[in-house]
Amino acid sequence: MAEEAIYVPRLAIGLVHYPVRDRQNKTVATNVTNFDIHDIARAAQVYGVERYYIIHPMQDQLMFVERVLDHWRTGQGAKYNPKRKTALGPVHTSESVEKAIADWNVPGALIISTSAKDEGLKKYTFAELRHEMHVEKRPVFMLFGTGNGMTEDLLKSCSGTLESIRGAPPQDYRHLSVRSAVSICLDRVMGPW
């Protein structure tokens, strides 16, 4: 008897550098970091993410990302560390969230934001989003903000917000690096448990 093919949900992620908030709640653009390129790409590869978009409106920041990608995909880095080349395969750059979603071009995808704060928006628990993805077979584009989180307008434009990752009681500390948050979220919605 032939084995049934395993269904892998369609998932893209975006690391949003603009529009995000600073500590004074002003809309700003944050800088791309080398760690975020590499570490999130590795997590994306582990959990079957189709595309990982680094979203920034400034060309110099996108050019920085492209130089890093070129080094590891086709330069000396590709020979030095072939696994890094594989991990960086799904990484793309985009000038805006809208352009990233259009580039992925998957009709009917849920656009899900993430936030450490309770923003008062439509919420998806991890279990609900996992059900949408694995049972209802809904594709998902998940956005992760940098700085002090995505702007309210961007959050409101999404299909919903994923529940926040809670810290251990009694403190409920919620100040993870975005790399850690991405890894936890991907494991909860894509992990084989």
Q: Concatenate the DSSP letters of all residues of 75-135 into one string.
A: SHHHHH-HHHHHHTTTEEEESSHHHHHHHH--TT-EEEEE-SS--SS-EE-HHHHHHHHHT
What are the residues whose beta carbons fall under 8 Å from the beta carbon of 34, sequence distance 6 or more?
Answer: 68
pLDDT on residue 4: 77
Q: What is the pLDDT of residues 108-134, one digit of tens each?
A: 999 999 998 776 788 999 999 999 999
Percent of the chain at pLDDT > 90 equals 79
Half-sphere exposure of 43 (CA within 13 A, CB side): 25
Q: Which amino acid is at 71?
A: H
Q: Quick one: pLDDT at residue 98?
A: 98
Query: d(Cα 148, Cα 116) in Å, to the nearest integer?
Result: 9
Segment 162-188 mean pLDDT: 92
Q: How confident is the model at residue 5 (pLDDT cuts 50, 70, 90)?
A: confident
Provide mean pLDDT across the span 158-167.
Answer: 93
The predicted-structure confidence for 28-41, as pLDDT tens digits, reads as follows: 999 999 999 999 99
Domains of the chain plus CATH, in order, are 11-190 (3.40.1280.10)
Specify the DSSP class assigned to residue 52.
Answer: E
- The most distant pair of C-alpha atoms in the chain lies apart, rounded to whole Å, by 61
Least confident of 60-64, 96-100, 116-120: 116-120
CA nearest neighbour of 55 among 30, 89, 24, 25: 30
Judged against a pLDDT cut of 70, whether residue 175 lies above it is answered with yes
pLDDT tens digits, 67-90:
999 999 988 888 888 888 999 999
